[in-house]
Structure 1
Amino acid sequence: AQENYIEAIYLMSHSKPVRPSELAENLGVKRASVSKFISSLVNKGFVHHESHGDIVLTDKGTALAKAIIRRDDCLTRLLVDVCGMDSEKAFSEVHRLEHVISDEVLIRLEILVDFACSSEAWLKRLHYRINTARIDRPTEQALQVGQTRVHPRQSTAK
């Protein structure tokens, strides 16, 4: 929830100062919930907020907002542009995934997305493969799990 508030404040603040009532409306929550949460964000150093005033991100809050948006953008590009997922479905998946992805994985995914999007032929082959997969069957059958080769550094012995 903290990241949702910070991201919303960041995006809203580009057009005008952010008022608590507008933030509540944007997030679909009650004004009292916003007040409580904003106090928590002030205590953590992410925002400045005077009573009945605008909400302003600190440098720390702005840095976190940019990191959140970077993750969102990468995951959205991965699911929509690379995997060919419908953008509405991707939106809900991104918001589930964004909270558990590490910086190390994010960097690798950004490289993968950039690579995939730079090769139209590669993307066409991937989209063909995705579109012809039998998604209605159990995952093991649809993807033929176990038929890929083991990575050279991966050990099969325990």
Structure 2
Amino acid sequence: MQSGEAAFNDFVAARTAALSRTAYLLTGDHHLAEDLLQTALLQAARHWERIHTAPEAYVRRVLYNQNVSWWRRRKLRETTLGTYDAAAPASSPDLRLTLEEALGRLTAKQRTVLVLRYFEDLTEVQAAAALGISAGTVKSMTRQALARLRVLAPELSELIGATP
């Protein structure tokens, strides 16, 4: 049986890459993603004895909630140009850059809902629970975000569906 600290260290080593990609997709910024993940892992470390049986679900929930908290407080938003996550798989670098640029032009709320629904593969109900909003709000935000993506990046129509 591992000590709590060793188990936490093993969890961090095994899941940091995946959690980091999620944090980046939520924030759209490498530095904010690092801060977001660090905040989530710090909270997990503080509550490890309580959450050690399902730490990833806890950390992901903290990522979502903390990101929501940040978009409520953020008045000015910095954006980076020409960066992308080299660790994330993609069939075409051009497609990845186009998708990243289009996602970066969505609001933080729209981007978060799309990440939860399509990257994290959560249902509308699960995404709503993670964000503390209604499933209807998730549906309408998803619809609005996809419609905006169709306008911002028509070349992505195969990925997001051709019909509005």
What TM-score results when the alignment is normalised by the length of structure 1?
0.33
More helix by share: 2
Task: Look at both structures and tell me which one has the larger radius of gyration over its CA atoms.
Answer: 1
What TM-score results when the alignment is normalised by the length of structure 2?
0.32
